[in-house]
Every structure is written in C-alpha cells, then in structure tokens.
Amino acid sequence: MTFRSILTGLLAIGFYGMACAAEIDRAEVEKRLAAASKNRPADLRRKDLTGLDLSGLDFRQADLWGADLRQANFSRSNLSGLNLDLTVMTRINLSGANLSNTSIFGVSIMNADLSGANLTGSRIIANLDRSDLNRADLSHANWGADMKNQPMGLMRVSLNNVDLSGADLSDANLSRALMRHANLSGSRLHNAMLAGVDLSGANLTHADLSGADLSGSHLEDADLTGANLAGARLTGIGNKSTIKGLDAAKNLQSAIFD
C-alpha cells in the first residue's frame, strides 16, 4: 500500500463524512453484529458512524475498514484483531477498549481517549498527537517505523504531547516514533525499542527504562529524574548535558553510553 493510496482513501472518507451524518444507529449496528459470523462479518465497511454510542459492544466479527468513527464512543468495546486501516478516528473514545492485535495504519487518532485501553500486540502507524493513553497497555505492541515500506518517505507513529503516564510499554517497538513533550511519567518501558525516537521535552520521571534501547534517540530537555536506567542503551544520543535530571536517575552507572 503506497502513501498516495492511503492519502486518497483518507480524503475520500473525509469528503464522504462531511456529506452526511451517521448512516445507521446503534440498534442497527447491534442487529448486524448479532447476525455476523466469522465467515460473514457484519458489514460496517466505509460506514459513517460519527458520534454514535457504541460502547460495550463486541466487534470482533465486524468489518470496519475505512469507516468514519469520529467522536464515536467505543469505550469498553472489543475490537481485538480487527483491521482498522484507513478509518477516521479523530476524538474517538476508546477508553478501556480491547484493541489487542489490531492493525491501524494511515489513520488520524488525534485528541482521542485511549485511557486504560488494551493495545497489546497491536500494529499502529497513525497520528495520535494530544491523545490520552494513561494506564494503557502497549506491551509487545509494534508501533515502529517499517523501513522496508517507505515509498513516499518515512511513515511513523506520532505521539507528540500524548499522556502515557502509568502506561505499560514493556517490550514494545516504538522505533523512530515522534514523542515530543509526551508524558511518560511512571510508565513501564522495560526492554522497549526506542531507537531513533524523538523524546525531546518528554517527561520520563520515575519511568522504568531498564533494558530499553534508546540509541540515537533525541532527549534534549527530556526529564529523567528518578527513571530506572539499569542496562538501558543510550549510545549516540548526543550532548548528555541537555537531558534534565540525568544525575538523579536510578542505576545510572549500569546504563550504556558511548
């Protein structure tokens, strides 16, 4: 899938969403879900579901590809294993939702609520700027840039100004992500892949970075006060004097620098 086709799809969905309101209501969605099976998933493909309350529903046997989900409420819903590529999800409520092993590619999820969401094993390349992911579970998630599929330039997840405080990112791949001014205070990043990540201005106070790979990352004005750096790899990060609270980090002596 090329960047041009992704952009064309997003524009088409955007114009479609502006042309009409939600096509169907919650009752119709529930009816389609009840009649769905693995071989005949509920057809919600490219449907306009903007603003609907769809909380607490099980969508595992639904086709939501390319749907317009702006400002919809999917809190506590089960979307595990779905392909949500090219959906429109700005300001969506996914708090407490199950998004484990989902694919979300070429999507805007800006200003969304994903607090407490289960995102384990998910594959996401999207714009989540200014979204709420506090206490979310991203363990073993693959949100790293795919260096083999970059025909129109680097496509990577954007997490600028997001709230990831208290989140679990253990063993997650976030390589080359944009995380400027992200709040990662108290988060778990044990063995996380953070190579080449832009963490400038990020709050990493009391985060667990043990065993994490931050090689080549940007840490200018990032705050590492109280962070656990046991076995963390910090090679190629440039001038360490630009990092706040580095001297107040835990297990600094076992971190790996140039």
26 occurs within a structural domain: no
Gyration radius of the chain over CA positions? 19
User: Would 87 be classed as within a structural domain?
Assistant: no
Would 220 be classed as within a structural domain?
yes
Q: Does residue 99 lie within any of the structural domains? A: no
Burial class (CB in 10 A: 0-12, 13-18, 19+), 27: exposed
Q: How far is CA 211 from each of CA 71, 168, 171, 193, 219, rounded to the nearest angstrom?
A: 38, 14, 9, 9, 17
Number of domains in the chain: 1
Domain enclosing residue 229, as ranges? 133-258
Residue 7's pLDDT band (cuts 50, 70, 90) = very low
Map tokens 């100004």 to a residue: 161
Q: Which two tokens stand for residue 181?
A: 């001014």
**Residue range 14-19: mean pLDDT, rounded:** 40
**Residue 152: what pLDDT?**
58
**Are residues 156 and 135 in contact, defined by beta-carbon separation less than 8 angstroms?**
no
Arithmetic mean of pLDDT, 22-51: 96
The string of pLDDT tens digits covering residues 54-90 is: 999 999 999 999 999 999 999 999 999 999 999 999 9
- Residue 32 domain-assigned (yes or no): no
Contacts of residue 34, defined as CB under 8 A and 6 or more positions apart, other chains included, come to: none
Kindly report the CA angle at 63 between 57 and 68, in degrees rounded to 5? 80
Q: Kindly give the residue spans of alpha helices, DSSP state H, lying in 45-97.
A: none
b/e per residue 182-200 (b: at least 16 CB within 10 A): bbbbbbbbbbbbbbbbbbb
Task: Judge if pTM exceeds 0.85.
Answer: yes
CATH code for the domain of 226:
2.160.20.80
> What is the average pLDDT across 166-180?
98
- Closest-CA residue to 68 (of 32, 92, 100, 99): 92
